Amino acid sequence: MEHRTHPITLLQMVWRFLFLLIFPVARGFLTALSGGTVSIWLDGAWKDILIIAVIFLLAFLQWWCLRYHWEPAGLSIRKGVLFRRRMFIPTSKIITMSLTRPFYLKPVGGVQLRVDTWAGTGNNMDISLILPKKAASAIFSKQENTLADPDFTPREYHPKGLYITCLSAILSSSFAGVLFFATFISQTGSLLGQEFADRITGTFERLTRAIAWGIPPATVAVAYLIIFGWLYSFIRNLIRHKNFVVRRHKQELLIDSGIITNRSYSIRLDEINYIDIRQSLVTKLLGLYSVFVNAVGYGKEKDDISAMIPANSWDRLQRHLHFLLPEFTTSPRQVKPNGGAIFRFILDPLVPTLLIPAAGAVIAMLFPSWADFTYSIVCMAMIPCLWFLAVRLLDFFSSGIGRQGNIFTLRYSSGKQLHTVVLPQKRISQIVLRQSPIQAFDRRCDVFVYSMSEKRTRHHIRNLDVAQAMEIFGCNETGAIPFIGNQKPLISLTEYLHPFPHYLRSWKPFWKKG
């Protein structure tokens, strides 16, 4: 039997037709330009009312014709007023199903049901419906029962609050908070008047001057804005990951979290692309690691979660990982950069680290009155440069590739994060070995591993031995495919660029026993 979605869906439908309001707005604007009075505008108000009625009528018709039906074989959806459209997603093709209960839908009993498969796009979920809580929970439970096995004992993991706090700190970004405060002040000026917004900015300016302690107020203002922005992002992440629970069944992974907005995810285990063990510079110094899961539909939206295990020590993390996902096991480095490759790692951060102080000194000489402010800006700009340099140094001492059976462990850095990616061979779509002329004389190359996912995902490991890299991936010179141009990843084992084949030499793989 087919069912309709929650009536609150009408508001979503109305939003799609708000562009029709341009006609009433244009009519009022033209009336004002022609010198018309309010009475003249009111004489044609029936036209505006008619357009608003059309908007609600179109929204109602779309909602009335939107119906869904869940059966053991899959989820079917029928929609469309003039042009009818029917969609069917087989249960066996559903990779991720999620329930989101935002705080604004709780009073009306609404729940957002989302379904994702390999057939959709990388930006939006394949199916997103707002259903009554009882109906959405019933569909989620039926999907859970489909993947459950009565002979398998479920496993449950409840991380400690301290680890959730560490994870929230790791995921926090000052940029998101600064963007929020800027938008807040701008919208406050629009709603409550520019005078009220000026009072907020004036209070902030006086506060920064009062606690500047001899530092230029502009520098203090930027610093405090970054700090407050980070705190805002931290609180949001803490609320999002509160009550974090992971449950493992034989064929699925269930993840719940949130207190204000509750989220539940069901992920098909055999469709997990890879797991990503991440560290920042701070967590590296603290010896903490966090595990994230890459699967279609998981962590896709802006406020979604993508973690599986919050911050833990390495030994504890290995126990939890074996408890939840024994299919993904890490292996030690078997191919790694040589000692002379350190300059290859630190070159990118070293250039701005040297140029910024030099540029600051030149500006201070040319504009002495701005010297204090210039040096403050230079000091602030040096922080991310030194941070990046430290991450690349750690990357040099930890990067490489390991292999255990058909499971690869890729260690590298990307931006300010250190990654340890555990990737099954069946999830590799392309491998590119890129070699510069300088690397050719040392038989070195950069390895790019492209993994199967909705978006183009690349793992970059720097400056490895060519022969060792080819051997660990199970290919040789004759089995390699020439790399031509900037083509997209295809389903192939290896793409290989090597201008000097005589540099290849035999190598005994470390992972093979006997």
- Same domain (yes/no): 497, 434: yes
- Same domain (yes/no): 295, 193: no
Paired tokens of 442: 């040392």
- Same domain (yes/no): 278, 213: no
Q: 478 CB contacts (<8 Å, ≥6 apart)?
A: none
- Number of domains the chain contains: 3
Beta strands 481-482 and 495-496 are: parallel
- Same domain (yes/no): 232, 290: no
Beta strand spans in 102-236 (E):
110-116, 127-132, 155-157
Where among 240, 266, 288 does a domain terminate? Answer: 240
- Same domain (yes/no): 429, 488: yes
- The answer to whether position 465 is within a domain reads yes
- The answer to whether position 44 is within a domain reads yes
- The answer to whether position 426 is within a domain reads yes
- Same domain (yes/no): 224, 296: no
pLDDT values of the chain reduced to their tens digit, one per residue, 514 residues: 788 898 888 888 888 777 777 777 776 666 666 666 666 656 667 777 788 888 888 888 888 888 998 888 888 898 888 888 888 888 888 999 999 999 889 999 999 999 998 877 666 788 889 999 999 999 998 888 777 777 788 889 988 888 888 888 777 765 444 444 444 444 444 444 444 445 544 554 555 454 444 555 555 566 666 777 777 778 888 888 888 999 998 889 999 998 889 999 999 998 899 999 999 888 888 888 999 999 988 887 777 878 888 888 899 999 999 999 999 999 999 999 988 888 889 988 999 999 999 999 999 898 888 887 788 788 878 888 998 999 999 999 999 999 998 899 999 999 889 999 999 988 888 888 888 878 878 888 889 998 888 777 899 999 998 888 888 887 755 444 433 334 433 333 333 433 333 333 333 444 444 4
Where among 41, 65, 89 does a domain terminate? Answer: 65
Note down the domain range covering 193.
Answer: 174-240
- The answer to whether position 449 is within a domain reads yes
Q: 319 CB contacts (<8 Å, ≥6 apart)?
A: none
- The answer to whether position 493 is within a domain reads yes
- Same domain (yes/no): 443, 485: yes
- The answer to whether position 258 is within a domain reads no
Q: Among 452, 449, 394, which Cα is nearest to 418's?
A: 394
Which helix (H) or strand (E) is 462 found in, with range?
A: strand 457-465
- Same domain (yes/no): 296, 402: yes
- Same domain (yes/no): 415, 494: yes
Cβ–Cβ under 8 Å, residues 396 and 342: yes
- Judge if pTM exceeds 0.85: no
- Same domain (yes/no): 482, 411: yes
Where among 10, 34, 65 does a domain terminate? Answer: 65
- The answer to whether position 281 is within a domain reads yes
Paired tokens of 23: 């006609």
- The answer to whether position 192 is within a domain reads yes
- Same domain (yes/no): 278, 407: yes
- Same domain (yes/no): 484, 410: yes
